[in-house]
Amino acid sequence: MTAKKSNRRFIDFPKIPENSDKVFTGYDGISCYVIREIPEFRSFINDLIKQDGYYILGAWGSNETERAVPAYKLYVLFSHESADNFVLTEFFHKGADASEINKLYDSFKDISKRFPVFIPYLYEFERYFASELPQHNRNKHDNEYGLTVGPIHAGIIEAGVFLFKTDGERILKVKIRSGCKYRGMERAFENLPIAKGISVAGRVSGDSSCAHAIAWSMAVEQLLGIDVSDEAMNLRAILAEIERIYAHINDTAFLLKDCAWDRPASFLFEYRNALMNVVKDVMGSRFPWRIIHPGGVTLYPDYENLKKLADEISNTVEKCRKIFTKTWFHNRLRTRTKGLAVVRKGRAQWFGADGIIARSCNLITRDFRYIHPFGPYTQFRENFFPDFPPCKEYCIARKIEGLEQQDVRYYNGGTLSRFSIRCNEVIHSDQIIQTIIDEQIKGHKKPERRMISDDQIREQAITVPPYHWSVGAIEGWRGPVVYWLMKGEEDHIFRVKIRDPSISNWHIMAAALDEEKSHEDREDTDFKDIILADFPVINKSFNLSYAGNDL
């Protein structure tokens, strides 16, 4: 990681406000500020967002009363919109008094009213959350809402509660009660040896398990100062892109199925399944997250095998591209999805949208592969993203000659634009994989297996002083997956915060379904009323994780 420093783009960090400290972290691109007063905290966040071009990735509380200076702390993590900078602010009241946590919670609520922060249930805040657990109860009826759906849904999907307020068929408002699937994954990390954390990280969200495993590994490597070989980084990037292809083909297939178009959907399912079986042959599993390990990778396939996989991927994507092109121009899809549940750019910015949802409403720079690159993304940034926005080059429409650009209004934030951005990203991911395999892996001799054993990790972890922290971030297929890791005594984990992209995007989905808020959109010619039958299509076009959100 240290070798590619020169390619990364940093800007200067903001100045230190009065009565506060800047903590030297020793890592590139991350700066930590300790702030002690509420008004200063508020104005500092305000300046960061309004002037310096940062946006909030997440906020979380932490009970650190066991430490030498006992305190309850509130952390807020920011990322810059276009440079490779992170800012972590730390806010605390001294003392282990229980009333402090109430003060902290109040200031937290204050922030969440002003800024897009939606991460309420964390360590000490859990007790607020536990009373609000949406237990399915027969005897309690919520008459305010016309229709309560869930937590168990009709179909093979995850569990969550939606409260619909409807007028006949028309949806007026939707409230999303998440938290049914709370397992306590962040708590499961605590007091675990650092070497064993990977088995928890891979099981947080099954459909983006590779992204979670990579983000965790990067956090550990940054904390312990481990250098990772280029070969391992290349393989990790390939795994992340394969996961993106899997997910996007699946989602587009389900969208087509919901638009009463089973035939192309069946083909897409078949291509995806064939690809997964080839991945199983090469990597050993259909979901190959177990290959990833802090310090490297546990398995490195031969060049011949990887080439076989790359050929299979390019075949699959080529076949999918034909289906995307045919369906995208067909009216059956357009009449159903165009202008449905539109997310406006300003609203997305306010809620802190990220990943494909942000990119589908023209917040195109919110791509961690471009802003916070690692491994091959740093070396090939110009190849991968020749003209930013990244997807412009690979628009399906451009593949068809004689079509004027003006006819195609892409990323207006509707369901159709979420469909088309998925199609584009499948094609884009294929190009990234081919570039990595052709430029990096071809011609190299078989790499020596540079794996770091669990014992080595433990020895290295003991040398790092306690209560040091690090951040690992990667662009999963939904959006950025961020891990914040704080080390405790010896080689044990003290606290971990997982930040899955669905956390902020659920709120954007609720806002897109709200009729009052979309009132100004009615002048748009594409605008559609949303009826109950549209909800599955919209839900699938967002396709957010319940498990990653509830943790």
Interface positions with other proteins (CB under 8 A): 133-138, 151-152, 154-159, 179-185, 187-188, 190-191, 196, 199-200, 203-207, 209, 250, 253, 266, 269-270, 272-274, 276, 280, 286-287, 545-547, 550
Of 210 and 235, which has the nearer Cβ to other proteins? 210
Of 5 and 280, which has the nearer Cβ to other proteins? 280
Residue 134: CB minimum distance to other proteins, A:
7
Residue 241: CB minimum distance to other proteins, A:
18
Q: How many residues are given for the chain? A: 551
Question: Which helix (DSSP H) or strand (DSSP E) does residue 59 occupy?
Answer: strand 54-64
Instruction: Count, in order, helices (H) and strands (E) of the chain.
Output: 20, 13
Residue 155: CB minimum distance to other proteins, A:
6
Distance CA 170, CA 532 (A): 6
Of 56 and 194, which has the nearer Cβ to other proteins? 194
Of 120 and 413, which has the nearer Cβ to other proteins? 120
Of 183 and 446, which has the nearer Cβ to other proteins? 183
Of 42 and 458, which has the nearer Cβ to other proteins? 458
**Look-up: residue for tokens 């990772």?**
228
Q: What is the DSSP letter of 20?
A: E
HSE, CB side, 13 Å, CA atoms: give it for residue 24.
Answer: 1
Q: How do beta strands 161-167 and 292-293 pair? A: unpaired
Q: Are 498 and 197 in contact (CB under 8 A)?
A: no
Residue 101: CB minimum distance to other proteins, A:
18
Omega prior to 389 cis, within 30 of 0? yes
Residue 327: CB minimum distance to other proteins, A:
17
Distance CA 85, CA 9 (A): 8
Distance CA 368, CA 410 (A): 21
The number of beta carbons lying within 10 Å of the beta carbon of residue 314 is: 14
Residue 545: CB minimum distance to other proteins, A:
7
Distance CA 400, CA 195 (A): 50
Residue 176: CB minimum distance to other proteins, A:
14
Q: What is the DSSP letter of 380?
A: T
Of 147 and 152, which has the nearer Cβ to other proteins? 152
